[in-house]
Structure 1
Amino acid sequence: MKVWSFISMVFFLLSCSNKKYSVLPIEQALTEFVYASVTIQPDSLYQVYSSVSGILEFNFVEEGDLIPKNKKLFQITNNTPKLNTQNDKFALDLAQENYNGSATVLASIKDEIEAAKLKYKNDSINYFRQKNLWDQHIGSKVQYDIKKLNYELASNQLKLLRSKFNNTKNELYTAVKRAKNKYQTSSIVTKDFTITSKIGGKVYALYKEPGEIVTSMEPLASIGSATDFIIELLVDEVDIVQIVKTQEVLIHLDAYTDMIFKGKVSKIYPKKDERNQTFTVEAVLVNPPKVLYPGLSGEANIVISKKEKALTIPKEYLIDSNKVKTDDGLVIIETGLQNMEYIEILSGINKDTYIYKLE
Structure 2
Amino acid sequence: MRLYVMVILVFTIGSCSESRYKILPTERALTESVYSSVTIQPDSLYQVYAIVAGILDENLVEEGDVVLKDDPLIQIINSATELNAQNAKFSLELAKENYNGSSAILNSINEEIIGAKLQYKNDSINFNRQKNLWEQKIGSKVDYDTKKLKFELTSNTLKLLQSKYDRTKRELETAVKQSENNYKTALITTKDFTVKSKINGKVYALYKESGEIVNTMEPLASIGHTSRFIINMLVDEVDIVRINLNQEVLVHLDAYSDKVFKGTVSKIYPKKDERNQTFKVEAVFENPPAILYPGLSGEANIIIARKDKVLTIPKAFLIDDGMVKTDAGVIPITIGLQNMEYVEVLSGITKDTHLYKPE
Question: Structures share a fold, TM > 0.5?
Answer: yes
Quick one: distance in 2 between partners of 1:298 and 1:41? 12
Indicate the residue corresponding to 2:47 in structure 1.
47
Query: How far does residue 203 in structure 1 lie from its aligned partner after superposition?
Result: 1.9
Quick one: distance in 1 between partners of 2:182 and 2:254? 55
Shift of the 348–165 alpha-carbon distance from structure 1 to 2, 3 Å rule, reads: farther
Paired amino acid for 1:307? K
Indicate the residue corresponding to 1:291 in structure 2.
291
SS state at 2:185 partner? helix
SS state at 2:39 partner? strand
SS state at 1:255 partner? helix
TM-score by length of 2: 0.79
Paired amino acid for 2:255? A
Q: Deviations over 1:224-263 (max 9, x none)?
A: 2221111110111111111111111111111111111111
Quick one: distance in 2 between partners of 1:118 and 1:350? 124
Q: Relative to structure 2, which stretch is displaced further, 80-89 or 51-60? A: 51-60
Indicate the residue corresponding to 1:31 in structure 2.
31
Paired amino acid for 1:318? L
Query: How far does residue 162 in structure 1 lie from its aligned partner after superposition?
Result: 7.7
Paired amino acid for 2:329? G
Shift of the 315–85 alpha-carbon distance from structure 1 to 2, 3 Å rule, reads: same
Note if 1:211 corresponds to 2:211.
Answer: yes
Indicate the residue corresponding to 2:239 in structure 1.
239
Q: Deviations over 1:310-347 (max 9, x none)?
A: 22111111111111122222222221111101111122
Quick one: distance in 1 between partners of 2:30 and 2:256? 26
Note if 1:333 corresponds to 2:333.
Answer: yes
Q: Deviations over 1:131-177 (max 9, x none)?
A: xxxxxxxxxxxxxxxxxx99999999999888777665555444333
Shift of the 123–354 alpha-carbon distance from structure 1 to 2, 3 Å rule, reads: farther
Query: How far does residue 58 in structure 1 lie from its aligned partner after superposition?
Result: 2.5
Quick one: distance in 2 between partners of 1:286 and 1:252? 14
Q: Which runs of 5+ in 2 are unaligned?
A: 1-6, 125-148
Paired amino acid for 1:205? A
Give the length in aligned residue pairs: 350
Cα RMSD, aligned residues only: 4.1
Note if 1:89 corresponds to 2:79.
Answer: no
Quick one: distance in 2 between partners of 1:51 and 1:22? 70
SS state at 2:291 partner? coil
SS state at 2:62 partner? coil
Identity among equivalent positions (%) equals 66
SS state at 2:226 partner? coil
Query: How far does residue 296 in structure 1 lie from its aligned partner after superposition?
Result: 0.9
Indicate the residue corresponding to 1:64 in structure 2.
64
Indicate the residue corresponding to 1:184 in structure 2.
184
Query: How far does residue 308 in structure 1 lie from its aligned partner after superposition?
Result: 1.6
Quick one: distance in 1 between partners of 2:355 and 2:205? 59
Q: Relative to structure 2, which stretch is displaced further, 10-19 or 190-199? A: 10-19
Q: Deviations over 1:15-73 (max 9, x none)?
A: 77544322222222111111111111111212222223333232322222233333332
Shift of the 151–330 alpha-carbon distance from structure 1 to 2, 3 Å rule, reads: farther
Indicate the residue corresponding to 1:260 in structure 2.
260
Shift of the 290–153 alpha-carbon distance from structure 1 to 2, 3 Å rule, reads: same
Within a 5 Å distance, the mapping from 1:217-236 to structure 2 comes to 217-236=217-236
SS state at 2:208 partner? coil
Query: How far does residue 184 in structure 1 lie from its aligned partner after superposition?
Result: 1.1
TM-score by length of 1: 0.79
